[in-house]
Structure 1
Amino acid sequence: MNANIDLHQLVECVGDAIVVADANEKIVLWNPAATRIFGYSEDEALGQTLNLIVPERQRQKHNEGYRHSMETGTTRYGTSLLKVPAKHQNGETLSIAFTVGMLFDQSGKANGVVAIIRDETARFAEERALKKRLSDLEGSQA
């Protein structure tokens, strides 16, 4: 890697949210794109758990999966693009797509995760509207 790259500047300027949580699910990195997507400032997000953005109905499954990943050092999602609902500060539901990576300490023990997150709410809404329109058109031709 080019040593001239300023990683702090990279994290600050990218359009996708970068969120890092430690082994206890506490948010330890929250970039400006995360603020734009979720509504919480960096100060409001740091130190909070990921429940800040995980909708109530997904929390149990999310928490169980997170604990399992920390215990085993693995995630079943690998490099897959995950598409899930998320929660904005104002209570609105968002549709997000993200990849997740495991982070490890010097001894190789899992000590957190990084998620690269994109807000897909508008695109998902357009896709649903197009599918409904297509279904309506197909139905009217029957």
Structure 2
Amino acid sequence: MNLDKIATRIVADTLDAVIYCDRSGTIRLWNAGAERIFGWTAEEAVGQNLDIIIPEKHRKVHWAGWERVMETGETKYGADPLAVPGLHKDGSTMSLEFSILLLADDTGYIEGIAAILRDVSRRWKREKELRARVRELEAQKP
């Protein structure tokens, strides 16, 4: 098997969502992990705007940041995953962590952004419950 085929299989079959959007925010790549996490099939998602996975109250901030990245080619998010809320096809929200990769042509013109996303809702809920329990126990101290 050649490396191109291996890379294609990794992207296609990973449990994490792998999404690629062009400059306009139109989804051009949507893998099986994205289908599993967000509930949209690739046929439904490809060609749609990213708003299908961004909760409405977060869209204005998201798009302002998107435009800034497209203009400058710089993002404030480095190697640390970004934590954001996400939107499932059924309207429910989830907690996501993701990293991004700016994809530029040979001149440096950004053609789009690839993202690898993971649903961390269960972990986030457990941590929230633990923080609440710690606060409760600390309040009981004499």
Report the TM-score, using the length of structure 1 for normalisation.
Answer: 0.92
State the match for 2:98 in structure 1: 98
Give the gaps of 5 or more residues in structure 1: none
State the match for 1:22 in structure 2: 22
Report the TM-score, using the length of structure 2 for normalisation.
Answer: 0.92
Identity across matched positions, percent:
38
Runs of 4+ in structure 1 off by over 3 angstroms are: 2-5
Residue 97 of structure 2 aligns with an amino acid whose one-letter code is: A
Matched positions, count: 141
Structure-2 separation of matches of 1:71 and 1:95: 28
Structure-1 separation of matches of 2:112 and 2:49: 12
Shift of 1:105: 2.1
TM-superposition CA deviations, 1:56-82 (whole Å, max 9, x none): 111011111111111222212132210
Structure-2 separation of matches of 1:29 and 1:4: 16
State the match for 1:67 in structure 2: 67
Shift of 1:37: 0.6
Structure-2 separation of matches of 1:123 and 1:16: 15
State the match for 1:108 in structure 2: 108
Structure-2 separation of matches of 1:15 and 1:21: 19
8 Å CA contact 1:38, 1:87 repeated in 2? yes
8 Å CA contact 1:12, 1:31 repeated in 2? yes
8 Å CA contact 1:79, 1:101 repeated in 2? no
